[in-house]
Amino acid sequence: MSINYDFYQTTGKLADENAMHVRPVSNQTIDTQALAERIQRSSTATVGDVKLVLDALSVAVKQELLNGNKVHIDGLGYFSVSMKGTVRQGKAGKLKLKEASVRSILFKPEKQYVQQFAEAKFTPLPARGARPAAPDDTSLSQVLEILAREWGSFTTKEFCRATGWSPTTAYRRLKELEAAGMVANHGTRSTSLWHLCK
């Protein structure tokens, strides 16, 4: 498991000539359903329980921010509001704010949370037009072992990200591995959940 990155050239007046920088490139956006499934596998809560709590948390954080408070979630970080508007100065020199609105919701992670990412590994993206090499049988076994060791069970999406295969190819290969007795699916009809057979 690693974070993909790519290079880009900085533009604009402040950029150095030919200055190159690096930026992370997301594989995909993980939605609430996927997060809930992951949390379910490491707790006694169901997917429905997790989604209910996440929905309630979203509403509670919004209400507290609307009340002018900053919100701290232990082990994660702080949420706060940034605002925008037009500042006017009246005849008496008193400042007034017109057209005030919320610019954005800010998030500042806890230092301890950021420190946990010291173990992160990074992988450069292939050159444009190139496709990641499909894992051979040896590296595929290693991928399965890593997924099983880190999560116990894994979804087709997680297998897809780990191998670089398309969802269709990843699912087909998992079915082949299942037929060979290497993995087993103990999820639902709509959500596959795989584990490594020993």
**How far is Cα 150 from Cα 162, in angstroms, rounded to an integer?**
12
Residue 20 has pLDDT above 90, yes or no: no
Considering only residues 93 and 18, tell me which one the structure prediction assigns the higher pLDDT.
93
Looking at the whole model, is its pTM more than 0.75? no
Q: Which domains does the chain have, with CATH numbers?
A: 132-198 (1.10.10.10)
Ranking 12-26, 34-48, 160-174 by mean pLDDT, the lowest is: 12-26
Residue 136 has pLDDT above 50, yes or no: yes
pLDDT tens digits for range 51-82: 999 999 999 999 999 999 999 999 999 999 99
Between the alpha carbon of residue 27 and those of residues 3, 103, 124, 162, 165, the distances in Å are: 8, 28, 12, 10, 12
In this structure, are residues 173 and 134 in contact, taking their beta carbons and an 8 Å threshold? no
Amino acid, single-letter form, for residue 91: K
